[in-house]
Amino acid sequence: MSGVIVNVLWRVFVGGVLLTWLAGCATNTGIKIDQETLSGIHPGKSTKKELFDLLGPPRAIAVQGRPLYIFQPLHKSDTALSASRANIDKPLQLQAEPFFEVFTPQNTLTYVHRVYFYYYAESRMYMLPFYEKTSLEIDQLLVLVNEESEIVEDVYFMPHPK
């Protein structure tokens, strides 16, 4: 009888030890953007202050004609793919124009408009002996704000394709 118990305990022990090799981790960045959050933003009515109360400060603000600086929503290991690991904490420079594309032609954009960029990113990493894999899913929210009137004029939500 005791032999059977020892045998079972031994198998559990060896299995448990081997399971520790199946490492993995998941990290997320930003505020979760769901339908409830979106229903709190009313284009044409909501103010910049109300937007900040709801979502906090944006991850980046796009200004037409100027470069946009953004910290990439990446897991450390993704970024470490790069040869320059020292650049992990440096923002990435992008063109601002793509952020305005979803708001044209239905909105007439002028120099007073900004796009506030929010995202919620989930990064996953799976590690096995001899193998590791990373993935990134991003929900993006673009909010068109008139800086003069401080009113939210339009909203565009892009959930990560499932």
Contact 144, 103 (CB under 8 A): yes
CA-to-CA separations, 155 to 98, 117, 124, 131, 143, in angstroms, rounded: 15, 10, 28, 41, 5
Q: Which is nearer to other proteins, 54 or 102 (CB)?
A: 102
β-pair type (23-29, 151-158): unpaired
Q: Which residue has the tokens 């305005």?
A: 100
Q: Closer CB to other proteins, residue 125 or residue 152?
A: 125
Is residue 94 a contact residue for other proteins (CB under 8 A)? yes
**Of 10-18, 28-36, 38-46, 49-57, which part binds other proteins (CB under 8 A)?**
10-18
Please give the biggest Cα pair distance in the chain: 82
Considering the complex, what minimum distance in angstroms separates the CB of residue 136 from other proteins?
Answer: 7
Q: What is the DSSP string of 53-102?
A: HHH-S-SEEEETTSEEEE-----HHHHTTSS-GGGTTSPEEEESHHHHHT
Q: Binder to other proteins among 77, 146, 147, 153 (CB under 8 A)?
A: 77
Residues 37-76 close enough to bind other proteins by CB under 8 A: 64-67, 72, 76
Q: Which is nearer to other proteins, 31 or 70 (CB)?
A: 70
* Residues in binding contact with other proteins, number by CB under 8 A: 51
Shortest Cβ 160–other proteins spacing (Å): 9
Residue 71 to residue 64: CA distance in whole angstroms: 19
**Residues lying near other proteins in the complex (CB under 8 A):** 6, 10, 13-14, 17-18, 20-21, 23, 25, 64-67, 72, 76-84, 87-88, 90-99, 101-102, 105, 125, 127, 129-136, 140, 158
